[in-house]
C-alpha cells in the first residue's frame, strides 16, 4: 500500500476518534477533505462509509433528523452495487 492509498483510511480513523472525543467540527473538516480531494467516484462502499460517518456526526451534534436521513442515504448507496 502506498502512502497516497493509506491517507484516506487514516482520515476515516481520525474522523472516528475526533467524533468520539466531541471534536465534531474538526471531524467534519476531514470528511470534507475526503469528499473534495479524494476521488471516491466508483467506490460505492467507501462513499457509503463517508456518508455514514457524516450521519453519525450529525447525530452526535444533536441534528438527529438530518443524521437519520443521511444514514438512510448511506445504506441505500451501500446496497446499490448489489442490485
Per-residue pLDDT reduced to its tens digit, 31-43: 998 888 776 555 6
Q: How confident is the model at residue 21 (pLDDT cuts 50, 70, 90)?
A: very high
Secondary structure of residue 23 in the 3-state scheme = coil
How is residue 24 written as a grid cell?
Answer: 465534531
Q: Which residue has the higher pLDDT, 67 or 39?
A: 67
Name the one residue in this structure whose C-alpha cell is 443524521: 67
User: How far apart (Å, rounded) are the C-alpha atoms in residues 56 and 54?
Assistant: 5
For residue 27, what is its C-alpha cell?
Answer: 471531524
List Cβ neighbours of 56 (8 Å cut-off, separation of 6 or more): 19, 67, 71
39-61 average pLDDT score: 83
**pLDDT of 1 strictly over 90:** no
Q: First-to-last CA distance in the chain?
A: 30
Amino acid at each position: 500500500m502506498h502512502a497516497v492509498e493509506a491517507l484516506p483510511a487514516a482520515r476515516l480513523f481520525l474522523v472516528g476518534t475526533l467524533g468520539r472525543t466531541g471534536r465534531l467540527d474538526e471531524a467534519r473538516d476531514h470528511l470534507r477533505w475526503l469528499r473534495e480531494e479524494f476521488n471516491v467516484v466508483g467506490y460505492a462502499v467507501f462513499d457509503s462509509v463517508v456518508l455514514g460517518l457524516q450521519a453519525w456526526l450529525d447525530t452526535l451534534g444533536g441534528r438527529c433528523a438530518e443524521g437519520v436521513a443521511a444514514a438512510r442515504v448511506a445504506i441505500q448507496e451501500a446496497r446499490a452495487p448489489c442490485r
